[in-house]
Amino acid sequence: MSKKSINKITSTTVPLQEQNVDTDQIIPARFLKATSREGFGENLFRDWRYNSDGTPKKDFVLNNPTYSGRILVAGMNFGCGSSREHAAWAIKDAGFDVVVSSFFADIFKNNALNNFLLPVTVSEEFLQELFTTIQNDPKATITVDLEAQTISNAPGGKTEKFEINNYKKTCLLNGYDDIDYLLSIRGEIENFERSHA
Amino acid sequence: MAKTLFEKIWDRHVVTTIDGGPSVLYIDKHLIHEVTSPQAFKGIENRGLEVFRPRQIVATADHNVPTIHQELPIKEELSRVQVQKLVENCKKHHIELYGLGHPYQGIVHVIGPELGITQPGMTIVCGDSHTSTHGAFGSIAFGIGTSEVEMVMATQCLMQSKPKLMRINVEGPLGKGVVSKDIILYIIAKISASGATGYFVEYAGSAIRNLSMEARMTICNMSIEMGARGGMIAPDETTFAYVKGREFAPKGAEWDKKLAEWKELYSDKDAKFDVEINIDAAEIEPMITYGTNPGMGVSVGGHIPASADPKALNYMGLQAGTAIKGKKVDYVFIGSCTNSRIEDLRQVASFVKGRKKADNVEVWVVPGSKQVEQQAIKEGIDKVFEAAGFNLRQPGCSACLAMNEDKIPAGKYCISTSNRNFEGRQGPNARTLLASPLTAAVAAITGEVADIREFI
Question: Which of A24, A33, A85 shows the shortest C-beta gap to B145?
Answer: A85
What pLDDT does residue B79 have? 94
Q: Say whether B197 and A106 touch across the interface (CB within 8 A).
A: yes
Q: Cα separation of A191 and B241, whole Å?
A: 33
Cβ B79 vs Cβ B404: under 8 Å:
yes
To the nearest 10°, report the CA torsion of B427, B415, A82, A122.
Answer: 100
DSSP-derived secondary structure letter, B134: G
Q: Which of B45, B292, B422 to mutate to test the interface with A (most CBs of A within 10 A)?
A: B422
pTM, two decimals, is: 0.97
Is the torsion defined by CA of A164, A165, A168, A174 positive or negative? positive
Statement: residue B75 has pLDDT above 60: yes
Q: Say whether B15 and A52 touch across the interface (CB within 8 A).
A: no
CA distances from A49 to A28, A54, A147, B47 (A): 12, 9, 34, 36
Statement: residue A2 has pLDDT above 60: no
Q: Say whether B193 and A20 touch across the interface (CB within 8 A).
A: yes
**What is the rounded average pLDDT of the residues B12-26?**
95
Contacts of B198 (CB under 8 A, 6+ apart): A106, B163, B164, B227, B229
What pLDDT does residue B21 have? 86
Q: Whole-number mean pLDDT of chain B? A: 97
Residue of B nearest to A182 (CA): B155
Q: Whole-number mean pLDDT of chain A? A: 95
CA distances from A92 to A117, A127, A193 (A): 6, 21, 37
**What is the rounded average pLDDT of the residues B352-368?**
98
**What is the rounded average pLDDT of the residues B114-130?**
98
CA distances from B20 to A83, A105, B149, B264 (A): 26, 22, 24, 30
Q: Say whether A80 and B293 touch across the interface (CB within 8 A).
A: yes
Task: Name the minimum distance, in Å, from the CA of A156 to any CA of chain B.
Answer: 33
Cβ A63 vs Cβ A49: under 8 Å:
yes
Q: Order of strands, edge to edge, in the sheet holding B164-171? A: B230-232, B199-204, B164-171, B275-280
> Which of B273, B275, B265 is CA-nearest to residue B5?
B265
Q: Which long-range contacts (CB under 8 A, 24 or more apart) does A25-31 make?
A: A25/B422, A25/B423, A25/B424, A26/A79, A26/A87, A26/A90, A26/A91, A27/A84, A27/A86, A27/A87, A27/A90, A28/B424, A28/B428, A29/A82, A29/A84, A29/B63, A29/B401, A29/B402, A29/B403, A29/B425, A30/B402, A30/B403, A31/A86
Task: List, as one string, the DSSP characters of A59-125.
Answer: TSGGG-TT--SSEEEE-SSBTBS---THHHHHHHHTT-SEEEES-B-HHHHHHHHTTT-EEEE--HH
Q: In chain A, what residues touch B28 (CB-CB under 8 Å)?
A: none
Q: Cα separation of A125 and A155, whole Å?
A: 18
Cβ A77 vs Cβ B194: under 8 Å:
yes
Q: Which of B9, B90, B148, B226 to mutate to test the interface with A (most CBs of A within 10 A)?
A: B148
Backbone dihedral angles phi then psi of residue B328, each to the nearest 5 degrees = -70, 140
Give the pairing type, strands A98-101 and A71-74: parallel
> A168 — contact with chain B (CB < 8 Å)?
yes
- pLDDT tens digit string along B191-243? 999 999 999 999 999 999 999 999 999 999 999 999 999 999 999 999 999 99
Residue of A nearest to B160 (CA): A110
- pLDDT tens digit string along B413-450? 999 999 999 999 999 999 999 999 999 999 999 999 99
Q: Cα separation of A95 and B291, whole Å?
A: 32
Cβ B320 vs Cβ B304: under 8 Å:
yes
Q: Is the ipTM of this complex over 0.90?
A: yes
CA distances from A118 to A149, A163, A166, B24, B437 (A): 11, 11, 14, 22, 41
Task: Name the minimum distance, in Å, from the CA of A140 to any CA of chain B.
Answer: 28
Task: Name the minimum distance, in Å, from the CA of B115 to any CA of chain A.
Answer: 22
DSSP-derived secondary structure letter, B303: B
**Helices marked H in B196-266:** 206-209, 213-221, 237-243, 252-262
Q: What is the H or E stretch that residue B170 is in?
A: strand B164-171
Q: Is B402 exposed, middle or buried (0-12, 13-18, 19+ CB in 10 A)?
A: buried
Give the pairing type, strands B331-334 and B362-365: parallel
What pLDDT does residue A3 have? 56
Q: In chain B, what residues touch A168 (CB-CB under 8 Å)?
A: 21-22
Q: In chain B, what residues touch A86 (CB-CB under 8 Å)?
A: 146
What does the angle CA B341 – CA B70 – CA B440 come to, to the nearest 5 degrees?
A: 35
B60 φψ region: left (φ > 0), alpha (ψ -120 to 50), beta (else): beta
DSSP-derived secondary structure letter, B398: G
Q: In chain A, what residues touch B63 (CB-CB under 8 Å)?
A: 29, 32
- pLDDT tens digit string along B362-394? 999 999 999 999 999 999 999 999 999 999 999
Statement: residue A1 has pLDDT above 70: no
Q: Which of A16, A26, A30, A108 to mutate to test the interface with B (most CBs of B within 10 A)?
A: A30
Q: What 3-state class would DSSP assign to B197? A: coil
Cβ B436 vs Cβ B179: under 8 Å:
yes
Q: Cα separation of B224 and B232, whole Å?
A: 12
State the angle between helix axes of B146-155 and A106-113 in degrees (0 to 180), rounded to the nearest 10. Answer: 70
Question: Which of A28, A84, A103 shows the shortest C-beta gap to B424?
Answer: A28
